[in-house]
Amino acid sequence: EEIIRFFEMAIAGGQIFVYYQPQYNHSTGRIVGAEGLMRWRHPEFGLQYPVNFIPILEKYGLIHRADLFVFEQICRFQSNCPPSVRIPISFNVSRHDLFGHDYVKELEAIRKKYDVPVKYLHAEITESSAIGGIDLFIKAITQFHEAGYLVAMDDFGSGYSSLSVLKDLPVDILKFDLQFLAGEGLGGRGGIILNSAIQMAKWLETQVLAEGVETIEQADFLKSVGCNYVQGYLYAKPMPEEKMRSLLETGS
Ligand code: G
Ligand code: G
Ligand code: MN
Ligand code: NA
């Protein structure tokens, strides 16, 4: 009770907000999308990143409330964005959002309130949270698709049963996290696996986006294996809403 009230106050006080990290087509240099990332600016402890507070929100049953709030912020951003420069923005879905909620219905009510076309909102589910209960995700993906949302699988390759998760979850976009190579260059096993996974995604007619791209070597490798969509510090760090808006409207 106490902590729920505390969190509502954090939301009401503007402490919870969204950063945006652009995604690029590096063969054209154009921004093709962005990911919305939750931030918490605590009056005492400063800017907090999801690793530090999402587990707490999950533990206290607050992540559902938080994710709906983030989704609403993204919808508001989209509704204020001139249609000529609008791009799809992805929102993260926790497995807790899907338990005991008609989540897609809840999202749809918010989206309609802001009158944002569904093609400008992409759902992101994390591969690792699908393990140990895939039925929930199959059902959710079906509902997302019926409502017209594209679905991305986040952190693909970082879990331990990527292939079986991929087989059962009909996602539209695979996000490869280059962190899974963990310092190892792209010349070794990691590069071979990444290259093969990219070709596999193409056969599955699934789009591929590499995230966590930090170096020119990684970018060149991705180009050479035909992975055109990228997100990472090499291109742009997550940024505040105003900065993202200006990037879209003026190009800088
Ligand atoms: O922004 P950062 O790279 O620190 O985010 C780390 C992770 O936190 C992301 O990969 C994502 O899994 C999770 N995350 C970020 N924003 C949200 C959000 O709005 N909702 C949920 N459920 N997870 C998020
Ligand atoms: O949802 P997901 O966990 O994929 O969110 C991506 C996280 O990774 C965010 O917290 C973001 O701040 C972070 N991130 C984005 N680009 C890079 C990068 O190039 N390198 C590293 N180490 N982290 C990144
Ligand atoms: Mn994500
Ligand atoms: Na990720």
CA nearest to 64, candidates 39, 85, 92, 40: 92
Cβ of 74 closer than 6 Å to ligand 1, yes or no, is no
d(CA 142, CA 68) in angstroms, rounded, equals 19
Could you say which ligand is closest to the alpha carbon of residue 70?
1
pLDDT at position 158 is 76
pLDDT at position 160 is 67
Query: Closest Cα to atom 14, ligand 2: which residue?
Result: 212
Structure tokens at 165: 């998760």
Q: Which atom of ligand 1 is nearest to the CA of 21?
A: 1
Could you say which ligand is closest to the alpha carbon of residue 237?
2
Measure 6 CA to ligand 2 centroid, in angstroms.
28
Domain 2-245 in CATH 3.30.390.30: no
pLDDT tens series, the chain, 252 aa: 788 888 999 999 999 999 999 999 999 999 999 999 999 999 998 999 999 999 999 999 999 999 999 999 999 999 999 999 999 999 999 999 998 899 999 999 999 999 999 999 999 998 878 776 888 899 999 999 999 999 999 988 777 667 888 888 999 999 998 887 766 778 888 888 889 989 999 999 999 999 999 999 999 999 999 999 999 999 999 999 999 999 999 988
Among 92, 101, 128, the mutation site with the greatest number of ligand 1 atoms within 8 A of its Cβ is 92
Measure 49 CA to ligand 2 centroid, in angstroms.
11
What is the model's pTM? Answer: 0.95
Q: Are the C-beta atoms of residues 124 and 35 closer than 8 Å to each other?
A: yes
CA dihedral defined by 134, 136, 140, 142, rounded to 10 degrees? 60
Structure tokens at 127: 């591969």
Query: Closest Cα to atom 16, ligand 2: which residue?
Result: 232
Count Cβ atoms below 10 Å from residue 40 Cβ, excluding itself: 22
Query: Closest Cα to atom 15, ligand 1: which residue?
Result: 37
pLDDT at position 232 is 97
pLDDT at position 182 is 66
Measure 179 CA to ligand 2 centroid, in angstroms.
9
